[in-house]
Structure 1
Amino acid sequence: MSNGSEHDLASVFAALGDATRLALVTRLLAAGALSATTLADGQAISRQAIVKHLQVLEAAKLVVHERHGREVRYGLDPHRIKEARAFLTAIATGWDRALDRLKSLVETA
């Protein structure tokens, strides 16, 4: 993995490390593209705070926005999610191999 892609993945996990942003991603995943106003409905924080969180998610390339007249809708960018998923899968595979080796060592001892 190159330094640039490591930095990109770090920004993804940093963005997802906040409970509000994680909730926004979960909501966008379930509902598709939504406006900041819709995302703020029923939340304990303001629309402006939601927009700031969306900007962090956009900087991490997890979210993209599209203007529809006066309304801006935010949606998930599946490419970045796939990259993060591939990284986590590689880690899980590495751990599985290490545990299999440990199991073999314990069973032969």
Structure 2
Amino acid sequence: MNIDTALKEAMSISGAVGVALVDYDSGMSLGTSGGGDWLNLEIAAAGNTEVIRSKLRVMQSLGLSDSIEDILITLHRQYHLIRLMGGVKNRGSLFLYLVLERDNANLALARHQLKRIEGDLIV
């Protein structure tokens, strides 16, 4: 599936309010959907690149030879889910960033659906 289709499918996840496909090497979004006045996805995408870079540095310092599947940030009213895209050389520095309203979201199902979208996405 292409980027636009992947973003539309991510926005169909129960509770979704915004999604972005981001390159954490540059901090730039390849595409966004949703968001609105209170959620600037471009700023959030750039900020979350720092979260990933920081975690990768810690893993390297600890000598962990593993990879990050996803990172969850839990707020009182929202979930912020960062899913790194692995497995394909061209997608190595990309991640999907999904913001969910907690009252309307099923976190386990959202993680499952985002994993499926990641697997089907062709960049």
Normalized per residue, the structure richer in strand is 2
For the criterion TM > 0.5, the same-fold answer is no
Normalized per residue, the structure richer in helix is 1
The TM-score, its normalising length taken from structure 2, stands at 0.28
Which structure exhibits the higher relative contact order, with contacts defined as CA atoms closer than 8 Å and separated by 6 or more residues? 2
The TM-score, its normalising length taken from structure 1, stands at 0.31
Structure of higher CA gyration radius: 1
